[in-house]
């Protein structure tokens, strides 16, 4: 289905007028004393101006307000050749949320859809163009159809309502470099087989509900940053030995509660093996009784650990 038809079909029942004008921004730059100076230029467009509006196809377009009908007309008019599109904050007070958003494979390579009230992504089965997708602060509960985005390089899905992740859904995303799933409700991360992401460099699963983590089937040889702070993980990460040889920035603190002996050996190994930064985020945690805190790390001594590697 044509994008406009799909877009309006999804939204016609909730479309209301929340602004008399459509406010659209686009990056601008000029040369000053030999330096490029960037700024963002924003204009309000009356309905009669939309047909004649002109935008630079090489730069991001940010649609900040307006009616759903206006946005639909732009997507098939002045914005038809735009590949870098930002539509955000439609879930803000006084605006109209977008519960279902269609992703058109023939058009966009970069989409920023933060805080639009999105509950579902409609992704074409032939979508091989999109490289960057930002769906932070929406209402998504799963990402199973993300596997259709074969060229995806960066996915930011922080601040949704996702409860579980199957890494099998990411197995075909050979170009994936950044995967950010922070601040969801994730209580399990599973895989039915070894998962190999040769280009993945940044993984953020912080601020979720994980109580355990097994990375034995993860093959991420280029992983450089790994954030897992502020979960409820206890004792250790299973299968960590020999994993992530290039990881140099790690965050493990907050509400996690590690086994002290295991954590001390991990810390000593990292200090000896590579240059790394143990990142500490947020306030100092309130460690459970009979535990000690190393910086922002809670841990407890255990005499029942059989295999602490």
List, for residues 25-37, the tens digit of each pLDDT value.
887 766 666 676 6
CA 126/CA 256 separation, integer angstroms: 41
The string of pLDDT tens digits covering residues 2-13 is 443 444 333 322
Q: Using a CB cutoff of 8 Å and minimum separation of 24, what contacts does 277-280 make? A: 277/248, 277/249, 277/250, 278/250, 278/251, 278/252, 279/227, 279/229, 279/249, 279/250, 279/251, 280/251, 280/253
Average pLDDT over the chain reads 82
The string of pLDDT tens digits covering residues 236-277 is 999 987 788 888 888 888 889 999 999 888 888 777 766 666
What percent of the chain is modeled with pLDDT above 90? 39
Could you please state the CATH topology (level 3) that the domain comprising 140-300 is classified under: 3.80.10
Q: Give the confidence band of 209 by pLDDT, cuts at 50, 70, 90.
A: very high
SS (H, E, C) 179-200: EECCCCCCCEEECCCCEECCCC
The string of pLDDT tens digits covering residues 106-134 is 678 999 999 999 999 988 777 778 999 99
């Amino acid at each position: 289905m044509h994008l406009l038809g799909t877009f309006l079909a999804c939204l016609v029942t909730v479309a209301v007028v929340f602004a008399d004008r459509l406010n659209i921004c686009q990056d601008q730059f000029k040369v000053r004393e030999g330096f490029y100076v960037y700024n963002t230029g924003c204009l309000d467009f009356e309905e009669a101006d939309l047909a004649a509006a002109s935008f630079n196809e090489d730069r991001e377009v940010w649609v900040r307000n307006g009616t759903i009908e206006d946005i639909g007309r732009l997507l098939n008019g002045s914005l038809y050749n735009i590949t870098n599109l930002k539509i955000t904050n439609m879930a803000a007070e006084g605006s109209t949320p977008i519960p279902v958003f269609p992703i058109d494979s023939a058009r966009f390579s970069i989409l920023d859809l933060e805080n639009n009230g999105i509950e579902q992504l409609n992704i074409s089965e032939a979508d091989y163009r999109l490289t960057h997708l930002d769906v932070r602060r929406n209402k998504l509960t799963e990402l199973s159809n993300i596997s259709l985005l074969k060229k995806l390089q960066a996915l930011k899905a922080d601040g949704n309502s996702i409860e579980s992740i199957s890494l099998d859904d990411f197995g075909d995303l050979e170009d994936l470099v950044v995967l950010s799933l922070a601040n969801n409700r994730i209580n399990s991360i599973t895989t039915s087989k070894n998962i190999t992401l040769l280009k993945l460099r940044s993984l953020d699963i912080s601020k979720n509900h994980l109580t355990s983590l097994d990375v034995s089937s993860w093959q991420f040889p280029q992983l450089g940053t790994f954030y897992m702070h502020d979960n409820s993980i206890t004792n250790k990460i299973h299968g960590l030995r020999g994993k992530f040889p290039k990881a140099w920035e790690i965050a493990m603190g907050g509400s996690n509660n590690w086994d002290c002996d295991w954590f001390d050996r991990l810390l000593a190994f990292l200090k000896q093996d590579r240059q790394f930064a143990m990142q500490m985020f947020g306030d100092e945690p309130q460690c459970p009784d009979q535990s000690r805190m190393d910086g922002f790390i809670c841990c407890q001594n255990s005499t029942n650990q059989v295999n602490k590697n």
